Amino acid sequence: MADEIERKFLVTGDGWRQGQPQRLVQGYLNRDPERCVRVRIADDSGFLTVKGKTIGIRRAEFEYSIPLADAEHLLTLCDGPIIDKQRYRIPAGELCWEVDEFTGANAGLVVAEIELSSEHQSFLRPEWLGTEVSNDARYYNSNLSKHPFSEWQAEQD
Amino acid sequence: MADEIERKFLVTGDGWRQGQPQRLVQGYLNRDPERCVRVRIADDSGFLTVKGKTIGIRRAEFEYSIPLADAEHLLTLCDGPIIDKQRYRIPAGELCWEVDEFTGANAGLVVAEIELSSEHQSFLRPEWLGTEVSNDARYYNSNLSKHPFSEWQAEQD
């Protein structure tokens, strides 16, 4: 078990588009934010992850490596559409930005996350960093699988 | 991944009470029968298990061993009461009966299960075997955690 302490931001421009991204395909066996269960395929590796309730920006996270064939089958059991995204990793000293460029129903959305070791840890802000959305539940991947970004835009039109 | 093919029966008498039982404590991160996610502690071992939809008496099952400390924390994330039972294993040729004697809110309920390698496999019926309940969803452990046996009896009075 690890506590997950993350801050999440929108981005501007495309200075974050560096190096070779990793493809992440993921779905949810439970979207409930108090007991979220995620199936993920990262390139050719499978993972099953359980996350507890978010308190502030801290969240209990349990991640287990599982066979790829299991992950492929488990994705077919998931509730609702599957999320598909490219993840860029941008080192920042001892930390690392993870920038997710979504495709499919969430195309157009790009989100940057940084994992911290304490809630008050400081970090440098790259010039492409935009508005913080750490506490905006719409940006949870579990919600993006149910209410994708393309639908938000339609609602705003 | 393994397909789980099980038949489930009530029992009569207590001829099934043989050998040392194993204590099983379990809860559910999702009770949805199409994507059931179970956390279990069996003696001192932790497990995370996903089960798909039951088709007839066949069900896809994915089980992963996890650290005991993780399982203990994950039980606190579960939805609703925890199931606590003693499991007796009774060898029957190449097969094995698993007889679960429930405690707590399900006290009084005893259920025998046998796992088969095909749906039409035959097996010997011990003298303590009662009515078959394979297709009665009330006896799913995921449902027993929400609607325990003690409440059924109260409803029948």
**pLDDT tens-digit readout, A84-98:** 999 999 999 889 999
Q: Across the interface, do A73 and B66 touch by the CB < 8 Å criterion?
A: no
* Per-residue model confidence (pLDDT) at position A146: 85
Distance CA B13, CA B110 (A): 10
Asked if B30 and A34 come within 8 Å (Cβ–Cβ), the reply is no
Cβ pairs bridging A and B (under 8 Å): 63
Per residue in A1-34, pLDDT (tens digit) is 677 788 999 999 999 999 999 999 999 999 998 9
B28 is catalytic: yes
Overall number of domains in chain B: 1
Residue pair A82/A39 in contact by the 8 Å Cβ criterion: no
pLDDT at B119: 83
Asked if the model's pLDDT at residue B157 lies above 60, the reply is: no
pLDDT of B134-152, one tens digit each? 989 899 888 888 889 988 8
Q: Is A29 on the interface with B (CB under 8 A)?
A: yes
More reliable by pLDDT, B154 or B129: B129
pLDDT given at position A156: 59
More confident residue, A138 or A54: A138
The residue of B1, B4, B35 whose CB has the most chain A CBs within 10 angstroms, and thus the best one to mutate to test that interface, is B35
Region B18-43: what's the mean pLDDT? 95
SS3 content of chain B, % helix, strand, coil (to 5): 20, 50, 35
**What pLDDT score does A25 carry?**
97
CA distance B28 to chain A (A): 9
Q: Is A99 exposed, middle or buried (CB count within 10 Å of its CB: 0-12, 13-18, 19+)?
A: buried
Instruction: Give CA–CA dist B97/B127, Å, rounded.
Output: 13
Average pLDDT over residues B103-115: 94
Q: Which domain holds residue A62?
A: 2-156
Find, in chain B, the residue whose alpha carbon is nearest to that of A79: B35
Residues of B (35-54) whose Cβ lies below 8 Å from A:
35, 37, 48, 50, 52-53
Q: In Å, how far is A56's CA from the nearest CA of chain B?
A: 17
CB contacts, 8 Å: A30 with chain B: 29-30, 32, 35, 37
Which percentage of chain B shows pLDDT scores above 90? 71
A154 pLDDT above the threshold of 70: no
Asked whether residue B1 carries a pLDDT value surpassing 70, the answer given is no
Q: Which chain B residues touch A74 with a CB distance below 8 Å?
A: 50, 62
**Total H helices, total E strands in chain A:** 3, 9
Q: In the structure, what pLDDT confidence band is assigned to residue A49 with cuts at 50, 70 and 90?
A: very high
Residue B59: Cβ-neighbour burial (10 angstroms; 0-12, 13-18, 19+): middle
Confirm whether the ipTM is greater than 0.85. no
The answer to whether residue B55 neighbours chain A at the CB level (below 8 Å) is no
Q: What is the spatial distance between Cα A100 and Cα A127, in angstroms, rounded to a whole number?
A: 17
Would you call A70 an interface residue with chain B, using a CB distance cutoff of 8 Å?
Answer: yes
Tens of pLDDT, residues B16-30: 999 999 999 999 999
Task: Identify the CATH number of the domain in which residue B12 sits.
Answer: 2.40.320.10
**pLDDT tens, residue by residue, A59-117:** 889 999 999 999 999 999 998 889 999 999 999 988 999 999 999 989 999 999 999 98
Distance from the Cα of residue A96 to its chain's centroid: 14
Question: Which amino acid makes up residue A18?
Answer: Q
Interchain pair A60, B73: CB under 8 A:
yes
Q: How far is B34 from chain A (nearest CA, A)?
A: 7
pLDDT at B154: 65
> What pLDDT sits at residue B156?
59
Q: Are the beta carbons of B29 and A34 separated by less than 8 Å?
A: no
Percent residues over pLDDT 70 in chain B = 96
Taking the Cβ of residue B120 and every Cβ of chain A, the question of whether any pair is shorter than 8 Å is answered with no
CA angle A3, B43, B98 (to 5 degrees): 125
pLDDT in tens, B44-81: 999 999 999 877 777 889 999 999 999 999 999 998 88
pLDDT of residue B103: 94
